[in-house]
Amino acid sequence: MTNHPAPLVAARDLVKAHGRTPALRGASLELGAGEIVAVTGPSGSGKSTLLHCLAGIVRPDAGSVTYGGERLDRLPERRLSALRRTEFGVVFQFGQLIPELTALDNVALPLMLAGTARGAAQESAGGWLERFGVREHAGLRPGELSGGQAQRVALARALVTGPR
């Protein structure tokens, strides 16, 4: 008998509708710590809805999502927010960078929200910008970046906290 570790994230039989339009019809998924997956499909197939449910951004109409053994639908919003800030690496479809902040500060922000001193947060953020090849754009605001540069900044921001 093979001993498999419990999944870090498990979605079971998720159902979610937007008004009368079904987005998820019984979706299930298990992810292990450090596992990387691509969610693909045609426009309108429920990819974003699935990811929003997995991150606790929206609650499914039926089914459940667990993270580290905790059912997300049973957690208060404050705990969900803390999980998203410290445990998850979320990259939104359109980046969702804060337009008033530089690329460096957009990446450093999750660390500062978690209590890291500004200087240390910016140092770490600079390292992530370097990894994604956009360090030279650290002082630019999102509106001054190309689409690809903004996506790389959003990826750096998602990974800067070391999500599991």
CA separation, residue 38 to residues 31, 35, 41 (Å):
12, 10, 10
Write the burial class of residue 4 (CB in 10 Å: 0-12 exposed, 13-18 middle, 19+ buried): exposed
Write the burial class of residue 2 (CB in 10 Å: 0-12 exposed, 13-18 middle, 19+ buried): exposed
- Please check the confidence at residue 118 and state whether its pLDDT lies above 60: yes
Q: Given this model, what pLDDT does residue 137 score?
A: 97
| Total residues found in the chain within this entry | 164
Asked if the structure places residue 50 within a domain, the reply is yes
- Please check the confidence at residue 55 and state whether its pLDDT lies above 80: yes
pLDDT digits (tens, 9 = 90+) for 68-111: 999 999 999 999 988 888 888 777 666 689 999 999 999 999 99
Range of the domain at 17: 9-75
Q: Given this model, what pLDDT does residue 86 score?
A: 81
pTM: 0.65
Report the number of distinct structural domains present in the chain.
Answer: 2
Asked if the structure places residue 94 within a domain, the reply is no
